[in-house]
Each structure stands twice: as structure tokens, then as C-alpha cells.
Structure 1
Amino acid sequence: MSDIGPEMPEDDAQAAEHALGVLTARERAAAELRMAREPDFLAKVETWRERLAPLVDDVAAVEPPAGLWPRIVRGLPANDNQVGVLRRLKFWRGATMGSLGLAAASLAMVAVLATRPPQIITPAPAPMMNARLMTTGGQPLFLAAYDPGRKAVLVASLVPPGTDPNHSHELWLIPADGKPRSLGLVEPGASKSMPLSDQMAAMAKEGATMAVTVEPAGGSLLDGPSGPVAAVGKLARI
């Protein structure tokens, strides 16, 4: 069985990670500084953004929850008085047509909110997680991000397109019980969204392992991996 292919340069890997949104805040700041100073690195990030753009088509729009604006008003610092609140409301809404009417509506809204009992705020959604799937030598070959809100894994292959056409790369989720569950195939150089069932989503927890194996064309014929592990990583909060 052939090798998975040549290793990707570190610059390309960092550009792909930035485009996919799986860098930490510190790493993202460093990458954006490089983008501002190095046109070649900026071009690599833009190239990866174009390659990952089709993933957006698979992500459904999410409507903001009811009562979001009242929550924002109640979340303003406690030491701000009502005059300060109204001044900010008037400033932002006054930037659009009909600012006087909107400012008056804001006054009425604040007055009503002041008489309402506190509402229970819906808990924030679970944080996204990512996994950098690396070779035993520490080279990233695949990037994955899990969105608990949408119960979907976004995965990008850093393997050059056309590598080893006689085999397939199969992505696996390995939860705490140690049994691999197939999430599907990942084409070299491609990206895709993989929706999870409720049962699979419950297994996608922080610390769970994700791995890619090299399988016969079309994927493993067994109830589990049949080929060698190409890259492995663990889910961690972004």
C-alpha cells in the first residue's frame, strides 16, 4: 500500500487552519499579522478560503432567538444609568433614517423592560471544537471542526489532490469506548460537511479522537478501519 503523499509545507497548513477557523486566538492574531506583512501568505489564505467556500452552502441559516435585543439591554453594565443607556440607543439608532422615531421607541422599550420581571436566559450553545489530524511525525494532514449546534463536522484535507487514486481516506470518530465510527470519505485536497446523527453527536465530546485511515477505494469493507492510520488528533475547544 502506497504512502499517503508528500507532506504539506507549514505555511500552507497554517493558511488552511486560518481559513477553516480552527486557530486559537493567539495563533489567529499571529496569522493575521503575517497576512498584513506577507502578500504570499495572504494569497495562500485566500486560496484556502475559496476552496472552503462550498462548506457555507451546507450550513443552514440560524434565526436569532426571540428576545435577543432585550437581553442585550439588560446585559449593559450595572453602573450605567438610564440616561447613558438611552444616549447609546439614540446614537446607534439615530444613524439610520427615522432616528427620532426609533429613539422614542427605545425610550418606551426601556420603560417597559424596567417593569418586567427577570427572564431566564437560554444557556449559550456548546462551544465549537477542532481537531488537527497529524502524522506520527507531527505534520498536519487534515483539519476538522465540530459544531455542536448544527451537529456537523467540517473537514478539510491538506493532502495534495490526485494523491494515491487507488485508495480512499476515511474519517473516523473514536469516542471514550474506543470503537471507531466512520464519518465518511474525504477526498484529497477537498473539504466537506458531515452531519452527525443524534447518537454520533453525543459521542463527539472534548477529548474524543478523530483519525483518518488509508482504505481501499470506496472505504473500508469492515465494521471498522481496515487500513493503516494516516493521521490522528483529538477534539478540543477552540
Structure 2
Amino acid sequence: MVADSWFTNWRWNSRKASTETDKEAIGVLAYEVAGLMSKVVNLWNYLSDREIHRLREEIVNSIGAKRLVAEDHDYLMDLALNEILENFRLIAKSVVWLGRKCKDPPFLLFQRFVNDPVGYNLEWFGWQYRLKKMERKVKKMEKFVAATMQLSQELEVLAELEQTLRRLQANADSDHVKLLNFQKRVTLQRQEVRNLREMSPWIRTYDYTVHLLARSLLTILERIKHVF
């Protein structure tokens, strides 16, 4: 039944659907999206074998934690798990909010899964990334975050340059050569900003962004199950 559902059929046609041009781009929300991607990356990295091993070692060897909380190792791991799940829920709620502006049906319904992961687990079965692909997606999100941070800085530079250019243009006594050179600087800076926008989530659609984040979260959830 699941294999023949509209939901599963849409999944296999999602690549074709993603080429539609009528989908809204993230735009200025790129800064919020980059922050969200950073949280997803951090949560994934926190669940690595190395970090989980370190967590277990710290719990076993922490006298203070045993005295203040409990001597039960499993109880302390449950506390860590609850903290991870709370972070997961907060990120998932933000993805749900973004999903409300999507065109493709599954992302509009992602809230149902977030509210009831058990009840809607079958609908989202198979959406998880394989390990190697998830690592590639993590690197992609890291690039998005870095580009967005740089975009913010370059926009500030551009605003200052444009303000200075307006002052020079308003001054009848401005040196003509200096004015031309400054116009070139502004043009180059605008091109830099355009390039960074193309490298950031700015021009990506809501559907593309939620697709990436939702599948990453489903992969993280599987990792949480495996670890704990």
C-alpha cells in the first residue's frame, strides 16, 4: 500500500518537480536558513562515533555528575538523549514553518510527522540519506553557511561604498577620475554580492531547502535510534 501511495509516487518524481520555475525563493530568509543549517550540522556532528564515545567516557569518569545526578549510567545517557531530542524538535519546528511555503505536497505535511513520528513513519520511510550522501549534504550545508556569513559582511561593505559614491556624485567638485574608480569598485562589489547570493540559500526555493533539511532530520533521527 505504501509503495503505491501518492506520497511515494511523488517522491520518485520529485527531481522533475524541482525544476519548476514557479516556486518561491528563500531570499532574505537565507540568514535564518543558514542558522538552521548550522544547527543541523552541529547536531549531526554531535552524534558521530567519536563524540558519542567521548560522551560515554565523560559520564563514566565524571565523579561530579554521579554525585549530583545519579550513578546510573543509563539514566545519565537518557538525560543526554532528552537534550538531543529537544534540540531536534526545535529544529524540526522551524523546518515545518518553512514547509508551509512549499509547493510540493509532502513538505506541507511534514508537520504531521513532527507531531507524530510513529503514526506517520511509513509515509517518510526511505527518505533518509545514506551515510556517504549525508556527509556530502553536511558539507553542502557548511558551504551554504559560510557563503551566507560572507554575504552579510560583503553587503555591509557594499552599503558603505554606495553611500560614499552618492556623496561623490552629489559633490560638483569631485575628481572625475576618482569618481570613475569608485564606480568601478561599487560595480565589482555588487558582482561579489551577486556571486555570494548564488552560493548561499538566497536563490534556493523553499521546496529545495525544506527537502534538504527534512531528509537530513530524518537521517539524524535514524542516527539517534542507532546510537541510543
Q: Normalization by structure 1: what TM-score?
A: 0.22
Higher relative contact order (CA 8 A, sep 6+): 2
Structure 1 or 2: more helix by fraction: 2
Q: Normalization by structure 2: what TM-score?
A: 0.22
